[in-house]
Each structure stands twice: as structure tokens, then as C-alpha cells.
Amino acid sequence: MDAGHLASRVVTLCRCLVDAREAPSVEDENQRIALHPVDPVRNSRRERPWRRPHLDETAPRHPAFDPPRALLDKTVGRPPAHATDEDGGEA
């Protein structure tokens, strides 16, 4: 598939069950992209472009995800710990 913009995205794989000779395809946003056989060795060594430009260092990191702590806070009656420090992490 020659669609690098779909890297790390969830897509739908389509296959015709009536005609097994028909090539499978990928569907994304109502567009079908045909799949074709590739040489795995050659494909593993080919040059790939950057998927995303380098992120700015000032972009906040993902917040900490701690469901057990949130449940414990709720159980013991503590207020939720939503305070963050400078780098986006939980305090």
C-alpha cells in the first residue's frame, strides 16, 4: 500500500468473499486503497520519510493516567489530583 499518511491510524481492511481472486483493499474515510504484494526484504531496507515533524519542546506531555489512584481518592473522599507541575506530569 502506497499510503504513508495512514501510518499509526486505524483503517478497515476489505476483502471480497465471493471472488477470492480479487485483491484486498484498505478503506479510510470512504476511500478504497488497493493492496499489492511487496518484497519483504527490499521493503524492510527502503528509506522512509519522517511521519511527523519534530515536536516542539514546549508541547505538553501526556498527563499521567492512574485509574487506581483516582478510585482510591474517590473511595477515601479526597479531591481528585488534577494539579500538574511545569512539565505536564501529575504533582
Q: Name residues whose C-beta falls within 8 Å of residue 56's C-beta, 6 or more positions apart in sequence.
A: none
30 lies in the same domain as 1: yes
pLDDT at 42 over 70: yes
pLDDT in the model for residue 66: 80
pLDDT in the model for residue 59: 56
Side chain identity at residue 9, one-letter code? R
In a domain, 52, yes or no: no
37 lies in the same domain as 67: no
pLDDT in the model for residue 84: 46
In a domain, 55, yes or no: no
Domain tally for the chain? 2
In a domain, 48, yes or no: no
Q: Which pLDDT band, with edges at 50, 70 and 90, does 41 fall under?
A: very high
Please, which residues bridge with residue 26 across strands? Answer: 13, 33
Farthest CA pair distance, the chain: 62
pLDDT in the model for residue 6: 72
Query: What domain range is 3 assigned to?
Result: 1-42
Q: Name residues whose C-beta falls within 8 Å of residue 15's C-beta, 6 or more positions apart in sequence.
A: 24
